[in-house]
Amino acid sequence: KQEVTQIPAALSVPEGENLVLNCSFTDSAIYNLQWFRQDPGKGLTSLLLIQSSQREQTSGRLNASLDKSSGRSTLYIAASQPGDSATYLCAVDSSNTGKLIFGQGTTLQVKP
Amino acid sequence: DGGITQSPKYLFRKEGQNVTLSCEQNLNHDAMYWYRQDPGQGLRLIYYSQIVNDFQKGDIAEGYSVSREKKESFPLTVTSAQKNPTAFYLCASRRDRTNTEAFFGQGTRLTVV
C-alpha cells in the first residue's frame, strides 16, 4: 500500500531564505507526483506536476525534483517571501485511475 | 473563468440528517473526485468518477453516496450512516485519469450540530 510522508510537519524561516520541503513515498511505481499549496480554510492550488519520466519541473521561484528509485521528491523555494506562508502538500498517483495519495503536509511560515 | 465551484462553503447538519454537497466544473474534465480532510491528516479519497454514469468507491466511502448524471456535476451526499461527518470536503477534477493536473474547489466545511 502506497504511503506518503512529509517531513518536517512545520517549518519557520526568515524572509529571503532558500528552503527545501521533502516528500517520500514507499512504492516507486508511480505515474506522477504533484505539489500543492493550501492556505488556511481554502482549497488546494496546484503548483507543479512531475510525470514519472521526468526528473524535475520549474515554475518561477519553485523547483520540484523527483527521484523515483529512492522514493523521494523535493520542493525548492528560492528567496522565500511572507506570501509563501501556507501548507504545502505532495501527492502521488500510483494507479491508473487518477486517484491521489497525499502526505500530511508541511506548514511553512516565512517571517518578515 | 474555468474552474471548480463547491457549495455551500459552510454546512451544518443535525444528527440523523442527510446533506448534499455540490461540486460543479466547467473545465470539461472527465474525472472527478471527492476527498475528506481532517485536522492533522492528509486528504482521503471518498469516491471518484472517471466518466458520466459511472463511479467507484474510494478508501472511506462508508456513509457517503454520489451520482454522476452530468459531466460537469458530481454531488456528494453525506448520509446519517456517516458517524463522524465533521470535516472539510474537497472536490477535484482532472482532464482524464492519467498524467494530468488535478484541480480543486474551495471546499465545504461540514459541521454536525
Residue B15, min C-alpha distance to chain A (Å): 24
Residue with cell 446519517: B80
Residue in A35, A45, A97 to test binding to B, most B beta-carbons within 10 Å: A97
Residue in B30, B101, B110, B111 to test binding to A, most A beta-carbons within 10 Å: B101
| Cα separation, A71 vs A101, whole angstroms | 14
Residue A16, min C-alpha distance to chain B (Å): 28
* pLDDT-based confidence at residue A96 (cuts at 50, 70, 90): confident
Residue B26 predicted with pLDDT over 90: yes
Contacting residues of A for B44, CB less than 8 Å apart: 102
* pLDDT-based confidence at residue B113 (cuts at 50, 70, 90): confident
**Cis before A8 (ω within 30):** yes
* pLDDT-based confidence at residue A98 (cuts at 50, 70, 90): confident
Contacting residues of A for B95, CB less than 8 Å apart: none
Query: Is there a contact between B42 and A98 if contact means CB atoms under 8 Å apart?
Result: no
Query: Is there a contact between B97 and A103 if contact means CB atoms under 8 Å apart?
Result: no
* pLDDT-based confidence at residue A97 (cuts at 50, 70, 90): confident
Residue A14 predicted with pLDDT over 70: yes
The residue that leads in pLDDT, A45 or B81, is A45
Query: Is there a contact between B43 and A99 if contact means CB atoms under 8 Å apart?
Result: no
Query: What pLDDT shows up at residue A62?
Result: 98
Mean pLDDT of A13-22: 97
Which cell numbers in the block locate residue B36? 475528506
Query: What pLDDT shows up at residue B1?
Result: 64
C-beta separation of B91 from B106 below 8 A: no
Q: In chain A, pLDDT over 70 holds for what percent of residues?
A: 100
**Cβ-based neighbours of B46, under 8 Å, separated by 6 or more:** B34, B35, B36, B58, B59, B60, B61, B64, B66, B76, B89
Residue in B38, B48, B104, B106 to test binding to A, most A beta-carbons within 10 Å: B104
Nearest CA in chain B to A97: B97
> B36 by DSSP, 3-state: which?
strand
Query: Is there a contact between A89 and B104 if contact means CB atoms under 8 Å apart?
Result: no
Euclidean distance between the first and final Cα of chain B, in Å?
35
At A50-81, the pLDDT tens digits run 999 999 999 999 999 999 999 999 999 999 99
At B39-95, the pLDDT tens digits run 877 899 999 999 999 999 999 999 999 999 999 999 999 998 888 999 999 999 999
Query: What pLDDT shows up at residue A77?
Result: 98
Contacting residues of A for B109, CB less than 8 Å apart: 41
Nearest CA in chain B to A42: B106
